[in-house]
Amino acid sequence: MVAGFDFDESCRYAYETNIGADFIHADIAEVTPEQLREVWGDAPVRLLAGCAPCQPFSSHRRGADTSEEKNWSLLQHFGRLVAETRPEHVTMENVVRLMRMPVFDEFVATLRASGYAVDYRTIHGPAFGLAQSRRRLILVASRLGVVRVPNPEPNGTVASVREVIGALPPVQHGEADPNDSLHRARRMTPLNLARMQASLPGGTWRDWPEELLAACHRKASGASFQAFYGRMEWDKPSPTITTQSFSFGTGRFGHPEQDRSLTMREAAMLQGFPRDYAFVEDGAEPAMATVGKLIGNAVPPPFGRAVGEVFLARTATA
């Protein structure tokens, strides 16, 4: 990897520190083919990897017309850059629901018209060693020949929450590990702490006494919010890690045993990042909202590794 383009300046430190590549602060809608060619230089094999923001296509927005949102067209800009620069390899990751959107059909058509062999399908995190029940759309394309979305290892074992975060030092809500500023748990209100203490691993708010129920739980529609205010289970994969996974009320993000929500370090490790991955400078106070976005919006590293191996194999045989 030689460079990355992103509109969010907060990505810079983590990108440059861990990957060792240049971070270019730019809006993809304004990036030119000349900028990409300058970054690639005279490399004999070039890869363009992209991930348009998933919010307009998320299942949380089901039924809403999001076609007028500014992020909707970013996949089209990605396709424009592919058509104008024609790198040897292209890949993209996004939410599964994107496959049902016209903008995705247009993107695939652009790739094929530009001479690419294209393959895409849904992959599941646990099948690739990710301790997270994350399903994502993966697309791979190449001008060097046929490529296929990676297959999981046969007879692979499913990683669990315990395997990934079970050895981390315990912390209380509102406190942090003195040796790791990211291993910090959000402070809970007395009401949410009582809810956490009444929650069972893998259970729901139906396990709580009546006085702890939120207003939404008392409505008939509350039945559709089973995973909110929930604890994870030690010996299963986690749910999908989101940008708000440090918050108990936004999903099944309660620690399996300790009375608190996930720390940012736990969320990152469940997303597949190494234990020592640096998201903020040494001594800096990590903002949960900022780091949560970096973690939840990331392509899980095990997915990236599997896709990279596909292109390495294709290049070696071209």
> Which pLDDT band holds residue 283 (cuts at 50, 70, 90)?
confident
In this structure, what token pair is assigned to residue 100? 């049902």
Question: Helix, strand or coil for residue 196?
Answer: helix
Question: Could you tell me the CA-to-CA distances from 246 to 125, 129, 207, 291, 292 in Å, in that order?
Answer: 20, 22, 22, 10, 7
Given this model, what pLDDT does residue 53 score? Answer: 67
- pLDDT, the chain, mean: 90
Estimate the crossing angle of helix 74-85 against helix 33-40, to 10 degrees.
60
Walk me through the domains of the chain, giving residue ranges and CATH numbers. 3-154+300-317 (3.40.50.150), 161-286 (3.90.120.10)
Q: Which residue has the tokens 């190494």?
A: 274
> Which pLDDT band holds residue 38 (cuts at 50, 70, 90)?
very high
> Which pLDDT band holds residue 214 (cuts at 50, 70, 90)?
confident
Given this model, what pLDDT does residue 73 score? Answer: 77
Asked if 133 and 237 count as a contact pair (C-beta separation under 8 A), the reply is yes
Active-site entry in 11, 51, 54, 216: 54
Given this model, what pLDDT does residue 61 score? Answer: 43
Whether residue 95 has pLDDT greater than 60? yes
Distance CA 120, CA 101 (A): 14
**For 52-75, what is each residue's pLDDT tens digit?**
765 544 444 444 444 444 555 789
**For 120-136, what is each residue's pLDDT tens digit?**
999 999 999 999 999 99
Given this model, what pLDDT does residue 96 score? Answer: 93
CA dihedral 63, 65, 67, 71 (to 10 degrees): -70
Estimate the crossing angle of helix 102-113 against helix 74-85, to 10 degrees.
0
| 216 in active site | no
Strand 47-50 and strand 89-94: the pairing is parallel
Average confidence (pLDDT) over 142-157:
88
Q: Which helix (H) or strand (E) holds 24?
A: strand 22-25
Minimum mean pLDDT range among 90-104, 121-135, 210-224, 243-257: 210-224
Q: Which residue has the tokens 């291993």?
A: 183
CA dihedral 110, 112, 116, 120 (to 10 degrees): 90
Distance CA 224, CA 241 (A): 19
